[in-house]
Amino acid sequence: MDLHSELILEEYRAALPEFEKMRAEVLHVLKDTLDRSGLIVTSIEARIKTEQSLSGKLALKGAKYNTLSDITDILGARVVTFYTDDVDRIAAMAEQMFDIDWKNSVDKRMLHQLDSFGYNSLHYICRLEGHIYPFELQLRTTLQHAWASINHDIGYKTGVEIPREYLRRINRLSGLLELADDEFSRIRTEITDYRRRVQQLVQNGKLDDVLLDGDTFTSYLQSRPFDRLNRRIAAINQAEIQEAPLIRYLRVFKMFNCNTLGDVDRIVKKYEDDAYRLARHQLGNTDLDIISSAVGVQNICTVYVLVNGGGKLGLVTLFDTLNGHNSQNEAIAEMTYEQARKVIVDN
């Protein structure tokens, strides 16, 4: 190694504590900012180039650098996102977090030749306030990261040039992953739009226009359709109401052949009073002053089964659907049937 490169290596050794500080600070700033933005990413990492790696770089192109500050990737940070859109969002945040050296920053996504794909990430050369050395920030999607990692492993790690045929196949995969990345982003955007439209329809009460599925039932539950009934039931013993997840009732309403949220809402409205009477019959003679928010919908479904002639067997199916097949369900169904019969069936 020549003297010039030796001097840069010496400067590197002396600056390692400084780079350690920078590494911790960069990670802290990135994590903190992303946490506050609510944006979920696959990983945030930062590494300091090893002396061995730096020596290799200097051996290859040491003359290009006057001082250590000219080498921009001694500290490298990387954020890997799920979606391509998020790369741009984080890039915009990075511009607020750090000073960007625009002359040396590259959006490799824009550098594609017509006949090749490749290493599609965004590289910013940044500076942290109060530090003299620059660092590199890479932003890429999970698929870009997978492609780059595998390409690095089979393409460059051995230092042996690989035949064109294999390169062509690697590049074909890169194109495929680029398409997949774009499609994932598009799907996310469309799902978000769909959810907004559903919420709008629910808010406007156009429930017959909304097909029943996991997304739409969640929107329906956000309109708190069982609150009134739960409050009436809680008033029987001045009970407190504990929130319970209700999404599992989607399977039950599907079993009741509900196709739209309108079908669900009609059942809720039709059987609300009977469900309350069942709760009054059950809880009225007790001092139980805590209930779960599932009690209202549970009683509505119980009443629906019995009124529609499902009997004990129908209740077993109801509890099997809710809790999974379980030997306790038969006993719960038997007990519910005996109590509900007096309120629902006998009337």
Partner 1 sequence: MKTEIVESGNQVIAKFIGRLDTAAAVQTSEDVKPLLEAEQKEIVLDCTELEYISSSGLRIFLAIRKEAATHGSKVVVSNINADIRQVFMMTGFVSLFEIR
Binding residues for partner 1, per CB under 8 A?
A: 239, 242, 244-246, 248, 279, 282-283, 286-296, 298, 319, 322-323, 326, 328, 331-332, 335-336
- The nearer residue to partner 1, 50 or 327, going by C-beta atoms, is 327
| Least distance to partner 1, CB of residue 282, Å | 4
Q: What is the SS3 assignment for 77?
A: strand
Closer to partner 1 by Cβ: residue 143 or 344 = 344
The residue count of the chain comes to: 347
Question: Minimum distance between the CB of residue 307 and partner 1, rounded to whole angstroms?
Answer: 19
Query: How far is 166 from 155, CA to CA, in rounded Å?
Result: 9
Instruction: State how far Cα 276 lies from the chain centre.
Output: 38
For 93-147, give the DSSP string. Answer: HHHHHSEE-TTT-EEGGG---TT------EEEEEE-TT-SSEEEEEEEEHHHHHH
Query: What is 196-253 written as a DSSP string?
Result: HHHHHHHHTT-GGGSB-SHHHHHHHHHT-TTHHHHHHHHHHTT-EEE----TTHHHHH
Minimum distance between the CB of residue 339 and partner 1, rounded to whole angstroms?
Answer: 8
Q: How far apart are CA 327 and CA 323, in angstroms?
A: 11
CB 133 within 8 A of CB 18: yes
Nearer to partner 1, 187 or 247 (CB): 247
The Cα 128–Cα 113 span in angstroms is 33
**Residue 254: both structure tokens together:** 């599907």
- The tokens describing 304, both together, are 């629906």
Q: How far apart are CA 164 and CA 206, in angstroms?
A: 59
Please state, as a whole number, how many other Cβ atoms lie within 10 Å of the Cβ of residue 47: 13
Q: Give me the least distance between CB of 343 and partner 1, in Å please.
A: 13
Residue partners of 300: CB distance under 8 A and separation at least 6? 226, 229, 267, 268, 271, 272, 275
Q: How far is the CB of 125 from partner 1 (least distance, A)?
A: 40
Smallest distance from partner 1 to CB 277, Å = 13
Closest CA to 77 of 62, 93, 65: 93
Residue with Cβ nearer partner 1 (46 or 250): 250
Closest to partner 1 by CB, 199 or 282: 282
Closest approach, Cβ 284 to partner 1, in A, equals 10
CA atoms within 13 A on the CB side of 116: 10
Query: For partner 1, which is the closer residue by CB, 125 or 279?
Result: 279
Which of 141, 336 has the CB closer to partner 1? 336
Shortest spacing between CB 46 and partner 1, in angstroms: 28
Q: Give the nearest distance from C-beta 330 to partner 1 in angstroms.
A: 11
Select 258 or 300, whichever has its Cβ closest to partner 1. Answer: 300
Query: Which CB, 90 or 294, lies closer to partner 1?
Result: 294
